[in-house]
């Protein structure tokens, strides 16, 4: 069971798959299934109200897959996958940032920019060779 804010995802809606993990661990890695894949069918879930579910679907898609294999223990990898799933759902539940209000540069800013361009152009013109007289 995973809790995201005040929503509870029951274990029946989670699908687990275990396989052999890559990386360090010697013979232990070759014999135990410590890699964890956690599947969550968001489209078929009843853990969230319809409006929240719609926001999650648009941001995350119909199915979430989380993989954890950094620990040598299947138990720790299961906990890591659950935490990662909760973090992804938590991040997607946040309200969108406020829209940016487009602004235009002020007249003074435009004038300063043009004056600076003229000054740079004059400086570069002075770098040329002197005329032959």
Look at residue 24 in the predicted model and tell me its pLDDT.
Answer: 65
Average pLDDT, the chain: 88
Q: 49-103, pLDDT tens digit by residue?
A: 888 899 899 999 999 999 998 888 889 999 999 999 999 999 998 888 899 999 9
The yes-or-no verdict on residue 112 having pLDDT over 90 is yes
Look at residue 23 in the predicted model and tell me its pLDDT.
Answer: 65
Look at residue 47 in the predicted model and tell me its pLDDT.
Answer: 86
The encoded tokens of residue 47 equal 């853990």
Give the residue with greater pLDDT, 28 vs 132. Answer: 132
- Domain 2-93, CATH 3.30.70.260 — does that match? no
Give the residue with greater pLDDT, 80 vs 4. Answer: 80
Look at residue 117 in the predicted model and tell me its pLDDT.
Answer: 98
Q: What are the CB-based long-range contacts (under 8 Å, 24+) for 73-77?
A: 73/34, 74/18, 74/32, 74/33, 74/34, 74/36, 77/21, 77/34, 77/35, 77/36
The yes-or-no verdict on residue 115 having pLDDT over 90 is yes
Which residue ranges make up each domain of the chain?
A: 2-93
The yes-or-no verdict on residue 113 having pLDDT over 90 is yes
Instruction: Say which DSSP state 47 is in.
Output: S
């Amino acid at each position: 069971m995973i809790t995201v804010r005040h929503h509870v995802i029951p274990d029946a809606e989670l699908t687990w798959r275990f396989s052999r993990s890559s990386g360090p661990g010697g013979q232990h890695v070759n014999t135990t299934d410590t890699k964890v894949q956690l599947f969550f069918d968001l489209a078929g879930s009843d853990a969230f109200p319809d409006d929240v579910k719609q926001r999650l679907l648009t941001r995350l898609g119909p199915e979430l897959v989380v993989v954890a294999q950094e620990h040598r223990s299947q138990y720790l990898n299961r906990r890591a996958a659950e935490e990662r799933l909760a973090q992804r759902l938590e991040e997607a539940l946040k309200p969108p940032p406020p829209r940016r209000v487009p602004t235009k540069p002020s007249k003074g800013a435009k004038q300063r920019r043009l004056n600076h361009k003229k000054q740079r152009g004059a400086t570069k013109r002075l770098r040329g060779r002197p005329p032959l007289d």
